[in-house]
């Protein structure tokens, strides 16, 4: 029996299905969009619009990397603060740049993690802090290969405060910076 609100054929991804849509730029839109709010009992700070491949990949990362990384901290992982999901735009919002994977519903940006005890660990500060830099690097490394692109604070000036994960597949392989 399907749990109420489950999407993508997975009872641990809670949200709703949406109608297909396109955006103002050519190539924007999602053919089979879902809007998710909880993944494997981890609450998202906002409803996130994406395709099922991205939602399932995100779930795999949460279960295999994020939850274990915080298992011994603050009672475990309670929530994730998002700063990006679907948006019809170019890469890094730069003029004349290629279309972002966000514009296809295949990307998610994470700014911080909320633990059961209320502790908030931001990607930007946590990346450099002595007590959390190991966890941040584990989160980053655990996404590499799973996602097509993984960008973190050391990648460029556009990603200093968050992780960018997307499910783009390239002939040249995955990008992990």
CA angle (50 as vertex; 46, 54 as ends), nearest 5: 110
The conformational region for residue 48 under phi > 0 = left, psi -120 to 50 = alpha, else beta, is beta
Specify the pairing of strand 149-151 against strand 175-176. Answer: parallel
For residue range 16-48, what is the model confidence (pLDDT) as tens digits?
999 999 988 888 999 999 999 999 999 999 999
Q: Which of 81, 46, 39, 82 is nearest to 63 (CA)?
A: 39
Q: Which helix (H) or strand (E) holds 55?
A: helix 52-61
For the chain, residues with pLDDT lower than 50 are 1-2
pTM: 0.93
Where along the chain do its domains lie?
Answer: 6-176
């Amino acid at each position: 029996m399907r749990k109420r609100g489950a999407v993508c054929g997975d009872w641990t991804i809670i949200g709703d299905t949406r109608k297909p849509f396109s955006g103002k730029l050519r190539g924007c839109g999602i053919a089979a969009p879902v809007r998710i709010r909880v993944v494997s009992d981890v609450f998202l700070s906002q409803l996130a619009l994406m395709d099922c491949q991205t939602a399932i990949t995100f779930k795999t990362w949460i279960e295999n990397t994020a939850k274990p990384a915080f298992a011994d901290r603050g009672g475990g992982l309670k929530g994730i603060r998002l700063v990006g999901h679907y948006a019809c735009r170019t890469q890094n919002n730069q003029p004349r740049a290629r279309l972002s994977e966000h514009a296809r519903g295949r990307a998610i940006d994470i700014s911080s993690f909320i633990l059961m005890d209320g502790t908030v660990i931001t990607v930007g500060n946590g990346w450099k802090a002595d007590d959390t830099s190991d966890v941040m690097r584990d989160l980053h490394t655990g996404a590499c290969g799973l996602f097509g692109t993984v960008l973190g604070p050391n990648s460029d000036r556009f990603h200093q405060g968050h992780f960018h994960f997307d499910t783009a597949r390239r002939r040249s392989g995955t990008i992990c910076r």
